[in-house]
């Protein structure tokens, strides 16, 4: 007898509410405790249970079901499409049920938007789900704030930085003062910093925003959403430090962010991105083997999560950087060209511009100066719908020296060295995977972190 038939018959046979509650609690336990491929294998069961529950709404306990859907949404966002699991249909059925019951649907719409983002950054159904999330929530409530933050992230993904900054600023104006100060001030600072960094508008202000967000780490002990924002803030503090060639400080923030992220229920994309970021300063410091390990782990996480968006492409660019550092210029160039084409296909416009920066650096290094004018022309073409076309082109062009400087350093053949004692070398990476003791990096992290608190 199939699992589907077995479950359906038990429900129809009258085990009813007690059986439903017991099975749902068991699935909740699995969703919270399983990791990796074991959790991925459970997704089809979770999707089926959503569909089966919706067909018998009279036996559903609303509170238990809401908690189960929260975890199902997270797992669906982690793993995307899984064979045999129609995740999107299950989410649509839950949304329909909650609309008929006049129950909140905001988080369900946000879950659908996250699922769609796994397919493509610039996806019409993702935007429609985010619009529905915003319209389903009352302005000034927590649900509304969550919808605003999710939409802000979407705008950053598709290079609409000005709109992102204006949208997230509404939190400060329209949330009750105590709610904003207690929780969403952290999200406001994190997302403002991400937009400012990603657009290269103002790295100093971006850093200040992230430092403010980090003050909420203690509050995050009782609120996982705050903890995720703090982990993101450390991630971007690391990226800012790397731009300034403070590689030890960058590693310290990445390791700290990884430790904080791992306190949350598994979110594969966040962990994968941290592995990508750890590889970057390691390559700059000459720790090629350890950098390669992190890049392979990142690709594995992205593959496990069925991620077909920007993360996988950024990991590929990491391998291009590693190839260049190992003097394999042809392989680096081919990887950059393949990644650029894929970035265009999924609407990852800043990724396209970054690929062009990498290409320029590789051409200079290979002394293929004749191809540089064509690359400049490709950059100019991004004014038509690409990164420059979606933003203030003059402002972005003024930032090109900064972006190109990052690309040049990443593609440079020599490794960087910092004078501080206990420097990272080819035999040591400070992350838990590679180093049982990393006191020097921990000290850097402690000295660069603000005091804990709400701020």
Q: What pLDDT digit, counting tens, does each position of 234-259 carry?
A: 999 999 999 888 999 999 999 999 99
Cα dihedral: 279, 283, 286, 292 (round 10): 50
Q: Tokens in use for 450?
A: 């603000």
In a domain, 440, yes or no: no
- Cβ atoms of residues 230 and 217 within 8 Å: yes
Distance from C-alpha of 341 to C-alpha of 378, rounded to nearest angstrom: 12
pLDDT at 440: 42
Tokens 């430090």 found at? 241
Residue 317 lies in a domain: no
Q: What letter does residue 183 receive in the DSSP assignment?
A: I
Q: What was the pLDDT predicted at 101?
A: 83
* Confidence (pLDDT) at 41: 81
Closest by Cα among 300, 295, 261 to 278:
295
434 occurs within a structural domain = no
| 353 vs 40: CA distance, rounded Å | 34
**Is there a contact between 122 and 158 (Cβ–Cβ < 8 Å)?**
yes
| pLDDT for 397 | 46
Domain containing 79 equals: 1-103
Please give the Cα distance from 231 to 262 (Å, whole number).
9
SS3 call for 82: strand
Alpha-carbon torsion 99, 100, 102, 107, what sign?
Answer: negative
Q: Which pLDDT score, from 0 to 100, does residue 409 have?
A: 56
**Quick check: is 3 in a domain?**
yes
Residue 306: per-residue pLDDT = 64
The two structure tokens encoding residue 48: 């089926």
Q: How many domains does the chain fold into?
A: 1
Contact (Cβ atoms closer than 8 angstroms) between residue 219 and residue 181: no
Write the DSSP string, 323-384. Answer: HHHTT-HHHHHHHHHHHHHHHHHHT-HHHHHHHHHHHHHHHHHTT-GGGHHHHHHHHHHTTT
In a domain, 127, yes or no: no
Predicted pLDDT of residue 451? 38
CB 277 within 8 A of CB 311: no
In 10 A of CB 265, how many CB atoms? 16
Distance, in Å, from the CA atom of 410 to the CA atom of 320, rounded to the nearest integer, reads 9
Contact 274, 433 (CB under 8 A): no
Percent of the chain that is helix, strand, coil (3-state, to 5): 75, 0, 25
The predicted pLDDT at position 421 comes to 39
For residue 353, is it within any domain? no
Classify burial at 370, counting beta carbons within 10 Å of its beta carbon; exposed 0-12, middle 13-18, buried 19 or more: exposed
| Residue 436 covered by a domain | no
CB 191 within 8 A of CB 152: yes
| pLDDT for 382 | 66
Q: Which residues contact 203 (CB under 8 A, 6 or more apart)?
A: 196, 197, 240, 243, 402
**Can you give the pLDDT at residue 15?**
59
Q: Residue 47 falls within a domain, yes or no?
A: yes
d(CA 429, CA 119): 33
Residue 191's CB is within 10 A of a number of other CB atoms, namely 27
- pLDDT by residue (tens digit) across 152-165? 999 998 888 899 99
Low-confidence ranges of the chain (pLDDT < 70): 1-15, 80-85, 266, 306-309, 382-428, 436-455
């Amino acid at each position: 007898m199939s699992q589907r038939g077995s479950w359906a018959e038990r429900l129809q046979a009258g085990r009813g509410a007690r059986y439903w509650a017991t099975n749902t609690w068991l699935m909740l336990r699995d969703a919270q405790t399983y990791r990796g491929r074991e959790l991925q294998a459970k997704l089809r069961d979770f999707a089926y249970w959503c569909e089966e529950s919706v067909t018998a709404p009279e036996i559903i306990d609303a509170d238990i079901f809401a908690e189960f859907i929260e975890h199902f949404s997270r797992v669906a966002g982690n793993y995307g499409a899984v064979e045999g699991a129609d995740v999107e249909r299950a989410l649509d059925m839950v949304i329909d049920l909650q609309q008929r019951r006049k129950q909140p649907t905001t988080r369900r719409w946000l879950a659908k938007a996250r699922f769609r983002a796994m397919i493509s950054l610039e996806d019409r159904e993702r935007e429609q789900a985010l619009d529905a999330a915003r319209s389903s929530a009352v302005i000034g409530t927590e649900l509304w704030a969550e919808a605003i933050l999710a939409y802000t992230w979407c705008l950053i993904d598709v290079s609409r930085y000005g709109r992102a900054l204006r949208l997230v600023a509404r939190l400060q104006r329209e949330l009750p003062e105590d709610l904003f100060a207690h929780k969403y001030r952290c999200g406001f600072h994190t997302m403002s910093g991400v937009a400012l960094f990603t657009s290269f508008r103002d790295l100093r202000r971006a850093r200040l925003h992230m430092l403010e967000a980090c003050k909420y780490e203690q509050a995050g002990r009782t609120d996982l959403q705050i903890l995720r924002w703090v982990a993101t803030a450390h991630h971007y503090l690391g990226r800012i430090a790397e731009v300034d060639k403070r590689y030890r400080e960058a590693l310290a923030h990445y390791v700290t962010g990884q430790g904080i992220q791992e306190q949350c229920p598994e979110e594969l994309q966040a962990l994968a991105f941290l592995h990508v970021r750890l590889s970057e300063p390691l390559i700059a410091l000459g720790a090629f083997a350890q950098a390669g390990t992190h890049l392979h782990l990142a690709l594995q996480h992205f593959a496990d999560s069925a991620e077909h968006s920007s993360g996988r492409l950024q990991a590929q660019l990491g391998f291009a950087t590693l190839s260049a550092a190992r003097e394999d210029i042809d392989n680096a160039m081919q990887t950059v060209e393949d990644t650029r084409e894929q970035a265009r296909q999924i609407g990852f416009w800043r990724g396209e511009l970054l690929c062009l920066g990498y290409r320029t650096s590789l051409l200079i290094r290979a002394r293929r100066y004749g191809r540089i004018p064509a690359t400049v022309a490709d950059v100019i073409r991004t004014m038509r719908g690409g990164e420059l076309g979606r933003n203030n082109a003059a402002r972005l062009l003024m930032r090109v020296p900064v972006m190109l400087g990052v690309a040049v350093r990443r593609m440079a053949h020599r490794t960087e060295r910092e004078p501080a004692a206990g420097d990272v070398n080819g035999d040591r990476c400070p992350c838990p995977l590679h180093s049982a003791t990393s006191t020097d990096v921990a000290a850097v992290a402690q000295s660069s972190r603000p005091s804990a608190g709400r701020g």
